[in-house]
Homo-oligomer: A and B are copies of this chain.
Amino acid sequence: MLNFELKNPTKILFGKGEISKISKEIPQDAKILMIYGGGSIKNNGVYDQVKDALKEHNLHEFGGVPANPEYEVLVKALQFIRENKITYLLAVGGGSVIDGVKFLSAAAKYEGEPWDILKRPVRTLEGEALPFATILTLPATGSEMNSGYVISRRETNEKLSSGGPGLFPQFSVLDPEVIRSIPKRQIANGIADAYTHVLEQYMTAPSSADLQERIAESILISLQETAPKVMTENFDYDAAGNFMWCCTMALNGLIQKGVITDWAVHAMGHELTAYYGIDHARTLAVIAPSHYRYNFDTKKEKLAQYAERVWKITDGNTEEKAEAAIRKMEEFFHSLEIQTKLSDYTEDYQKTAERVEKAFTERNWLGLGEHKNLTPQDAYKIVEMSY
């Protein structure tokens, strides 16, 4: 069991109607900028609920933050924040909006060139960021209860991450009712994203952090059981609530404490999004099975444990259980109508492995994965296996 530090000060307000409580959570004298995406919050009622809850506050708006938040849009918001002396940011949206707001929170008080926060990641410490909160409308990334974020820059085809202990939301509202109006494709993405977040912190060499592993397995099982209920047309509040809470718990820091983590699947997946615009979650479903097959010897014991505890597979030896587990994982993604081969998404995939190898080499990412020894050449082979 590895040493760890854990601190997560984000306050969660979970459940139906909780948006109405946010006026008590934000200082009365705050100058708030509410930031949102493409406008779906105006159709599902969330926009009106926020406006109503904050009618006594000084509230400004900035809409139009796209999926995979782009630097070019965010610098415009940054300009607005500085010009209008905004003191509090409120992200209303999914992971893209929340990540964008984290970048803005970090950049607002940062005196250097904003892109440097990403280019040579600057950890934002407590007190260095503008206070912000989130109202989650699309469960997936877990960004509502952690201090990390990912930003894209179209002009350079880059997707880079940063964070720091100063970038936890002050509070996040999780109202499962928002799931009523989410398209099934995006719900499937959310499930696959959260599922892979757990895998990145679990599917490693054996750890001795027994409770953390069991909590990870609990999230996987709960996502599997909840998935068919939230993928039907009939809204089920409790299933929606479980789905939403699983997404948060998958990446709020808890299950990574005391264990080895990997994250190479994300590193490779981000490239596929940058090149082809494939949904983030779907890139993970493409890469994960190949990653586990390629690193089978390191991961087979944990794969077998996953087979036994999560999929109740009791037949076979370690290798057989481990192989069965990868197939079960693929079947689970397929049950969400998510394909697991790169060729399912683009015809222009033949040179992808070379592009990923080159990008990792240029960025000096020479040792990824759980043992920091996965080379750009390994990434080439894994991406090639995913064709």
User: Which residues does A use to contact B, with CB under 8 Å?
Assistant: 1-18, 171, 176, 208-212, 214-215, 217-219, 221-222, 225-226, 237-238, 241-242, 245-246, 249, 257-258
A217 CB contacts on chain B under 8 angstroms: 218
Do B3 and A17 touch (CB < 8 A)? yes
User: Out of B9, B211, B245, which one reaches A211, CB within 8 Å?
Assistant: B245
**Cα distance, A171 to B242, chains bound together (Å):** 30
Write 22 A-B pairs (CB below 8 A) sorted by A numbering. A1-B237, A1-B238, A1-B241, A1-B242, A3-B15, A4-B14, A4-B15, A5-B12, A5-B13, A5-B14, A7-B10, A8-B8, A14-B257, A14-B258, A15-B258, A209-B238, A211-B218, A211-B219, A211-B222, A211-B242, A217-B218, A218-B218
Work out how many copies of this chain go into the complex.
2
A11 CB contacts on chain B under 8 angstroms: 5-7
Separation in Å of the A83 CB from the closest CB of chain B?
Answer: 33
**Cα distance, A257 to B241, chains bound together (Å):** 12
Separation in Å of the A374 CB from the closest CB of chain B?
Answer: 26
A210 CB contacts on chain B under 8 angstroms: 222, 225-226, 238, 242
The 7 closest A-B pairs by CB, nearest first: A3-B15, A214-B218, A208-B238, A7-B11, A1-B241, A9-B9, A6-B12
User: Out of B6, B8, B15, B257, which one reaches A1, CB within 8 Å?
Assistant: B15
Do B249 and A211 touch (CB < 8 A)? yes
**Cα distance, A206 to B292, chains bound together (Å):** 37
User: Which residue of chain B has its CB nearest to the CB of A5?
Assistant: B13
Separation in Å of the A269 CB from the closest CB of chain B?
Answer: 25
User: Out of B209, B221, B245, which one reaches A242, CB within 8 Å?
Assistant: B209
A215 CB contacts on chain B under 8 angstroms: 215, 218
A211 CB contacts on chain B under 8 angstroms: 218-219, 222, 242, 245-246, 249
A246 CB contacts on chain B under 8 angstroms: 211
Separation in Å of the A211 CB from the closest CB of chain B?
Answer: 4
User: Which residue of chain B has its CB nearest to the CB of A7?
Assistant: B11
User: Which residue of chain B has its CB nearest to the CB of A9?
Assistant: B9
Beyond contacts A1-B245, A5-B11: 6 other A-B pairs, Cβ-Cβ < 8 A, are A8-B8, A8-B9, A209-B245, A211-B246, A214-B218, A245-B258
**Cα distance, A238 to B209, chains bound together (Å):** 7
Do A222 and B214 touch (CB < 8 A)? yes
Separation in Å of the A165 CB from the closest CB of chain B?
Answer: 9
**Cα distance, A245 to B211, chains bound together (Å):** 8
User: Which residue of chain B has its CB nearest to the CB of A168?
Assistant: B9
A8 CB contacts on chain B under 8 angstroms: 8-9
User: Given A211-B245, A215-B218, A242-B211, is A3 in contact with B14 using a C-beta cutoff of 8 Å?
Assistant: yes
User: Given A214-B222, A221-B214, is A241 in contact with B208 using a C-beta cutoff of 8 Å?
Assistant: yes
**Cα distance, A221 to B211, chains bound together (Å):** 9
**Cα distance, A218 to B218, chains bound together (Å):** 8
**Cα distance, A294 to B227, chains bound together (Å):** 37
User: Given A211-B219, A221-B214, is A14 in contact with B18 using a C-beta cutoff of 8 Å?
Assistant: no
Do A16 and B3 touch (CB < 8 A)? yes
A209 CB contacts on chain B under 8 angstroms: 238, 241-242, 245
A218 CB contacts on chain B under 8 angstroms: 211, 214-215, 217-218
A221 CB contacts on chain B under 8 angstroms: 214
User: Which residue of chain B has its CB nearest to the CB of A249?
Assistant: B211
A7 CB contacts on chain B under 8 angstroms: 9-12, 171
A237 CB contacts on chain B under 8 angstroms: 1
